[in-house]
């Protein structure tokens, strides 16, 4: 879902796509940055004994939040490009996915370092770079 949005934002910004079709914009999820979770896993490995941990931010955002942050970062208005497609609605409508990282905080001293907004901005930037590079490669004549 996240990559679908950030890639579409980049493609729209570059004029390659015209819209983004999504399902439930009010679905809530706990999004986190993978390198933060790798840091937590490393901390787990430093412990004398194994234990169970939930790695999460403990905060949820809606799909609408994701869309707004991604489009705003690209300087675009999501109202012009996002379309809700009923065929993409999941049966679990309204189900919130939020992890409780309190044990990881208490025992590992771990906290996510990268905010939701910074993570989404970085993903949009990365997808803009990838799509721009692909465009350049397609227009460079072979020797």
Contacts (Cβ under 8 Å, ≥6 apart) of 70: 5, 6, 9, 78, 120, 123, 124
Kindly report, residue by residue over 73-92, the tens digit of the pLDDT: 999 999 999 999 888 887 76
Which residue bears the tokens 């955002």?
A: 61
Kindly report, residue by residue over 125-137, the tens digit of the pLDDT: 999 999 988 776 6
Give how many domains the chain has, as a whole number.
Answer: 1
Tokens describing residue 51: 């234990």
Nearest CA-CA partner of 14 in 140, 141, 124, 143 = 124
Residue numbers of the domain that contains 78: 2-139
Q: pTM of the predicted model, to two decimals?
A: 0.86
What is the pairing mode between strands 61-62 and 28-29?
Answer: antiparallel
Q: What is the CATH number of the domain that holds 103?
A: 3.90.25.10
C-alpha dihedral over 132, 137, 141, 142, to 10 degrees? Answer: 170
């Amino acid at each position: 879902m996240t990559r679908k949005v950030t890639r579409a934002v980049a493609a729209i910004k570059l004029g390659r796509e015209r819209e983004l079709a999504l399902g439930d914009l009010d679905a809530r999820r706990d999004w986190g940055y993978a390198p933060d979770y790798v840091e937590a896993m490393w901390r787990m490995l430093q412990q004398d004994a194994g234990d169970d941990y939930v790695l999460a931010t403990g905060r949820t955002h809606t799909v609408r939040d994701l869309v707004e942050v991604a489009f705003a970062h690209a300087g675009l208005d999501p109202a012009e490009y996002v379309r809700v497609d009923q065929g993409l609605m999941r049966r679990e409508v309204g189900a919130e996915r939020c992890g409780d990282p309190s044990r990881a905080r208490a025992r590992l001293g771990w906290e996510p370092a990268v905010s939701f907004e910074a993570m989404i901005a970085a993903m949009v930037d990365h997808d803009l770079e990838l799509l721009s590079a692909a465009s350049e490669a397609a227009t460079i004549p072979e020797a």
